[in-house]
Amino acid sequence: MQPEFDLIIAKGRIATAADSFSADIGIRNGRIVALGQLSGARETIDASGRLVLPGGIDAHVHLAQDGAPGIVMGDDFETGTRSAAFGGNTTVMPFCVQKRGQSLREALKDYHARAEGACYTDTSFHLIVTDPTEQVLGQDLPALVAEGYSSLKVFMTYADMVLSDYEILGVMKVARKTGALVMVHAEGFDAIRFNTEQLEAGGGFGPKFHAISRPEPVEREATHRAATLAELSDVPVMIVHVSGGEVIDEIARARGRGVKVLAETCPQYLVLEEGDLDREGMEGSKYVCSPPPRDRTAQEACWQGLIDGTFDVFSSDHCPYRFDETGKLTPDGKRSFRWIPNGIPGIETRLPILFSEGVKKGRIDINRFVALTATNPARIYGLRNKGTIAIGADADIAIWDPDKTVVIGQDKLHHGTDYTPYEGLEVTGWPETTILRGQVVVRDGELVGRPAGGHVLRPVSGMEQGVKAGR
């Protein structure tokens, strides 16, 4: 007789966003088909003494993006998703970037080609809109949202990406019609540009001036503006990578007016500080990201936001520019901070940092951890059957040793880039086995999956998604 299950994960302690319980998980054809006391599988993984969680969904990562000429991103889809799997993740959401002058379809074709057959985890794209022409807003975007590309990121800064308020309103109008979710990078372009010129004129070139050029009010102002544009457009908006309390206050004010503002924060705003950008020599460039990490007060505000539900999602914003000559140090003798590519790696360390600093230290419980890192991203971005442990769900599972202590270091990670900003940080709790749709990808810290194991997913269409997410 055929065994009833392909795989049983036995005797683990399971946690979902709502519940914690002990049970065996029965898996067949990539789905969870039974929970309880089970037997009869081709393979059984003993998870006694272990925590069994839904595979993490990292809803904000950058993989294989083109930087400025000469700037190399350290991860392609293979190394990036490999690193994600080692960090307990089963789905990642990278960005497909529209170059100015390029059609969205061309951009998607290009990024799909980079991802297909190369991924260890499932993958689902957000679209970055940099050129909202009439054709894009009138034809291309509505068609793509209907096909399932239902999250759009717009930028309020970066010379090659920035949209005017007028253009953002155009994108939001499409979102209103189609049910897409607009994600906003909220930092004010003009203030940053002005500050940058002033700092350089005064001889300020080192990495630390990156943070000085974009203090929290620059982010607060843009957040207020983004929320106002969403209010005028009657659409929800996701403020990504929120760095501190002034921004959180702005989000709370908008919510108080009835604006549907969703919010995300990231590990760098919990454990890094502005002072890290002032490390010896160019070391500080390892911490250059936007918004920049701030101070203890901002860290505490972000924790409070994770505790009280201000934040819906906790993502890495993994953006793996290399520290060596082609990356953070920048070619062509361009030494000013303005030429350091923005972004830091963190796809593998996101979950252990939140687990250790959050769950182990008693700031959040394990259910909130699961909600922030898997269940909410699946719901908000319309990833069907993802983000929970339940009958019928995809068997996307991470088995954790909740007591394993690890000192984070580049030598232990599996990304393709050449440093980690979390070098030396000690964490307790580490994912040891990661299972994607019933297939083991990482087993006891060893890679066993194939790079073609992951699927490139389409979320449910914008409208359907809006209904599901209660928008």
Closer CB to ligand URP, 63 or 104, in the complex:
63
Structure tokens, 44: 């059984």
Which helix (DSSP H) or strand (DSSP E) does residue 216 occupy? Answer: helix 216-233
CA separation for the pair 138, 425 (Å, rounded): 49
Q: How far is the CB of 210 from Zn ion (least distance, A)?
A: 14
> Pick from ligand URP, Zn ion, none: which does 342 bind, CB < 5 to 8 A by kind?
ligand URP
Residue 336 burial by CB count (10 A; 0-12/13-18/19+): exposed, middle or buried?
middle
Q: Which of 317, 348, 357, 401 binds ligand URP (CB under 6 A)?
A: 317
Rule CB under 5 A: say whether 250 interacts with Zn ion. Answer: no
Binding characters for ligand URP, 259-298, by CB under 6 A (x = yes): ------------------------------xx--------
Q: Which does 284 bind (CB under 5 to 8 A by kind): Zn ion, ligand URP, none?
A: none
Of 325, 283, 313, 319, the C-alpha closest to 415 is 319
Taking residues 320 to 349 in sequence order and writing x for each that binds ligand URP by CB under 6 A, - otherwise, the string is: ----------------------xx------
**Nearest to ligand URP of 50, 214 (CB atom):** 214
> Which structure tokens are listed for 217?
């009010």
In whole angstroms, what is the distance from residue 99 CA to residue 131 CA?
Answer: 7
**224 counts as binding ligand URP under rule CB under 6 A:** no
Q: 430 forms bridges with which residues in the sheet? A: 401
Pick one of Zn ion, ligand URP, none as the site partner of residue 455 (Cβ within 5 to 8 A by kind): Zn ion
Shortest distance, position 243 Cβ to ligand URP, whole Å = 10
Shorter beta-carbon distance to ligand URP: residue 319 or 383: 319
Binds 188, which of Zn ion, ligand URP, none (CB < 5 to 8 A, cut-off by type)?
A: none
Name the binder of 114 from Zn ion, ligand URP, none, CB < 5-8 A by kind.
none
| Cα–Cα dist 342/433, whole Å | 32
- Supply the minimum distance, in Å, between the C-beta of residue 342 and ligand URP: 3
Q: Which of 10, 11, 7 is nearest to 27 (CA)?
A: 7
**How many angstroms separate the CA atoms of 431 and 438, rounded?**
16
Report the nearest approach of ligand URP to the CB of residue 291 (Å): 8
User: At 45, which amino acid appears?
Assistant: I
| SS3 at position 154 | strand
Question: Tokens 């689902």 sit at which residue?
Answer: 124
| 52, 388 Cβ separation under 8 angstroms | no
Quick check: 458 binds Zn ion (CB under 5 A)? no
- Spatial contact of 356 and 433, defined as CB atoms under 8 Å apart: no
Alpha-carbon gap, residue 222 to 215, rounded angstroms: 12
- As measured in angstroms, the least distance from the Cβ of 344 to ligand URP is 7
Neighbours of 204 (CB within 10 A): 17
The answer to whether the Cα torsion of 186, 188, 189, 194 is positive or negative is negative
Element (H, E) at 406: strand 397-407
**Choice between 360 and 458, CB closer to Zn ion:** 458
Half-sphere exposure of 136 toward its Cβ, with a 13 Å CA cutoff?
23
Site string for Zn ion, 316-335 (x = CB under 5 A): -x------------------
CB of 44 to Zn ion, least distance (A): 26
Among positions 177, 360, 455, 458, the unique one binding Zn ion when judged by CB under 5 A:
455
Q: Binding to ligand URP (CB under 6 A): which residues in 59-88?
A: 62
CB of 268 to ligand URP, least distance (A): 9
Contact of residue 265 among ligand URP, Zn ion, none (CB under 5-8 Å per partner type): none
Give which of ligand URP, Zn ion, none residue 157 binds (C-beta under 5 to 8 Å, depending on kind): none
Instruction: Give the length of the chain.
Output: 471
Examine residue 185 and tell whether it contacts Zn ion (CB under 5 A).
yes
> If binding is defined by CB under 6 A, does position 196 make contact with ligand URP?
no
Structure tokens given for 245:
């309390």
Of the two residues 287 and 400, which places its CB atom closer to ligand URP in the complex? Answer: 287
- Positive or negative, the CA dihedral 202, 225, 180, 233 is negative
* 126 contacts ligand URP (rule: CB under 6 A): no
Which is nearer to Zn ion, 273 or 317 (by Cβ)? 317
Q: Can you tell me the distance from the alpha carbon of 12 to that of 190, in angstroms, rounded to the nearest whole number?
A: 53
Tokens describing residue 435: 């299972």
Asked whether position 152 contacts ligand URP by CB under 6 A, the answer is no
Chain positions contacting Zn ion, by CB under 5 A: 185, 317, 455
Chain positions contacting ligand URP, by CB under 6 A: 62, 185, 241, 289-290, 317, 319, 342-343
